[in-house]
């Protein structure tokens, strides 16, 4: 597996990041352990989580994904070999400081994540969502203090619009604080505009690594959703606005490109992302080792310039501007 530098940092990470939102939700702990074991055996070293995973599930208090990863790290006994990224922001306790990007929330949230992960440092600590409950200067100072205390190695952000990301980089430069090395945006072949319109150029110019989530759009880009096929899924309800003729035609094209290579729609969709110049490592979750094998197979796919041009045209968002 060929590792990639993450932004302007010394971190070298696998080109596929293992997402863990499903741990403790659609994948129980034994299943999660098998997936992580298989990922590690394939050379993977980059695991992403968040403190709120998966608090929306009945009976899940949040922090369950972090705890599962922490148990796995302890069992393996080689914490130093893995890059663990987690996120803070979401509501994790009652009271006015139970969520957000204030110093009061982030310092406690980071300590709680460290405890659940069973580690004394977090490789990348990320702000989960933009929030105006605290000045950005306060947020960046709190994150810088976590780095200086040795609790966090690097900091990143998620879901930030370009103007806020640019402002945070300016604050870090002005105040001599640690800067964001990564952005975690939603980005896929059927969700290109939000990232490409502004953030892509900013990340390339400023050396911010990009680790997009939902690169398969909650399963839509695996090819299991077709014009006449809508499988039952806990995520299907949130995908209905992707059920368009343009997107179905895109799936048909991905299958046409995949078939002679003996690959899958999933692998072609991920291979397209991997050849984008701003992308470091898409974040992809797996509920089984078989799903993980399909995902990692994307690393062996080489798209031709003609393939890329066809996919670019079929998924072009500018034609609808």
Asked whether 104 and 141 are in contact (CB, 8 A), the reply is no
Cα distance between residue 40 and residue 26, in whole Å: 21
Cα distance between residue 299 and residue 77, in whole Å: 27
196 secondary structure, DSSP code: I
Q: Pairing state of beta strands 122-127 and 4-5?
A: unpaired
Cα distance between residue 19 and residue 6, in whole Å: 16
What is each CA distance from 147 to 107, 151, 152, 154, 156, in whole angstroms?
Answer: 11, 6, 5, 7, 12
Nearest to 280 by CA among 229, 208, 216: 208
Exposure of 313 in the CB half-sphere (CA atoms within 13 A)? 6
Structural tokens at position 180: 């964001």
**Backbone φ and ψ of 316, nearest 5°:** -65, 125
Single out the catalytic residue among 39, 53, 125, 187.
53
Q: Has 242 been annotated as catalytic?
A: no
Query: To which H or E segment does residue 83 belong?
Result: strand 83-88
Cα distance between residue 181 and residue 156, in whole Å: 5
Q: Which residues are catalytic?
A: 53
């Amino acid at each position: 597996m060929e590792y990639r530098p993450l932004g302007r940092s010394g971190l070298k990470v696998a080109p596929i990041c293992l997402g863990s939102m499903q741990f403790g939700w659609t994948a129980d702990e034994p299943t999660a352990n098998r997936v992580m074991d298989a990922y590690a055996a394939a050379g993977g070293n980059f695991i992403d989580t968040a403190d709120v995973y998966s608090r929306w599930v009945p009976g899940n208090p949040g922090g369950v994904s972090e705890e599962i990863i922490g148990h796995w790290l302890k069992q393996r006994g080689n914490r130093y070999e893995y890059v663990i990224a987690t996120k803070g922001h979401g509501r994790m306790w009652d009271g006015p400081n139970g969520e957000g990007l204030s110093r009061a929330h982030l310092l406690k949230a980071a300590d709680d994540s460290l405890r659940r992960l069973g580690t004394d440092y977090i490789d990348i600590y990320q702000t989960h969502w933009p929030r105006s409950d605290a000045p950005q200067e306060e947020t960046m100072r709190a994150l810088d203090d976590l780095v200086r205390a040795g609790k966090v190695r690097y900091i990143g952000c998620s879901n930030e619009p370009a103007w806020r990301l640019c402002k945070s980089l300016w604050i870090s430069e002005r105040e001599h604080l640690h800067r964001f090395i990564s952005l975690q945006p939603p980005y896929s072949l059927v969700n290109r505009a939000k990232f490409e319109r502004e953030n892509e150029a900013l990340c390339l110019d400023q050396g911010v690594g990009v680790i997009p989530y939902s690169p398969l759009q909650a399963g839509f880009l695996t090819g299991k959703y077709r014009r006449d096929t809508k499988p039952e899924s806990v995520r299907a309800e949130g995908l209905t606005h992707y059920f368009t003729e343009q997107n179905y035609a895109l799936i048909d094209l991905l299958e046409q490109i995949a078939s002679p290579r003996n690959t899958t729609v999933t692998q072609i969709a991920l291979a397209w992302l991997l050849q984008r110049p701003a992308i470091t490592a898409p974040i992809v979750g797996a509920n089984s080792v078989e799903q993980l094998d399909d995902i990692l197979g994307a690393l062996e796919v080489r798209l031709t310039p003609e393939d890329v041009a066809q996919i670019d045209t079929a998924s072009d968002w500018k034609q609808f501007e």
